Structure 1
């Protein structure tokens, strides 16, 4: 389930970026109750996008800011509590990684859902039922 961490150059060192991304991965698995799940763990993927300083803006001016976007199937983090928990954890992770160079007010998160059947892994389209089966180990996986 892709996570995208976007920030301006110079805000976090390469090591801080990687550590924050790894912690975002752990947070997603934790709030989903799927830590260590054989199907989900390798499918929490994503990217770290580092943009030129002038390309991160608010009110028409460059700012130090960070964005966490999470793309999921409709069934994931379906409860308001799970969404809230991920957003709070994501904000805490990025704020800690920035070590005082970024305030919570400059960290934005969002969660985007793919419609049922529009989730693809390794060339296979998964319905919500297929994903639940794969996560719980109750359905046969195509190779």
Structure 2
């Protein structure tokens, strides 16, 4: 389940970037109730995009900001409560990682869902039932 963290250069040290990404991963697993699930843990992937300062914008102007995007199958974090919980935790994680260099109101998050059957792992297309089966088998 890809996470993309986009930040301006100089906001987070490499160690803070790694800590932030680990915290975002933990947030997804915790909120989904899948902490410790080997299948899910291995499939929380993503990237950290560090862009030139002038390429991070709000209101059309360069700003110190961070963007978190989480892509999931339709069945994951489907409730409003789960979405709110992830966004709150993601904001907390990035704010802590920035160590006072980033105002909370400059952290934006969104969740994007893949349509049924459009989730691919290792060249295999998974529908919702396949994902539930893989997650359940991993927990056994």
TM-score range relative to shorter protein: over 0.9
Root-mean-square deviation over aligned CA pairs: 0.9
Using the size of structure 2 for normalisation, the TM-score is: 0.96
Equivalent residues, number: 138
The 2-side partners of 1:70 and 1:61 are apart by 25
Which ranges in structure 2 are unaligned for 5 or more consecutive residues?
Answer: none
Q: Hey, what does 1:121 align to over in structure 2?
A: 121
Q: Hey, what does 2:32 align to over in structure 1?
A: 32
Q: Hey, what does 1:70 align to over in structure 2?
A: 70
Moved over 3 A (4+): none
- How far residue 8 of structure 1 moved from its aligned partner, in angstroms, is 0.3
The 2-side partners of 1:86 and 1:101 are apart by 22
Using the size of structure 1 for normalisation, the TM-score is: 0.94
The 1-side partners of 2:59 and 2:25 are apart by 31
Q: Determine helix, strand or coil for the equivalent of 2:38.
A: coil
Q: Determine helix, strand or coil for the equivalent of 2:48.
A: strand
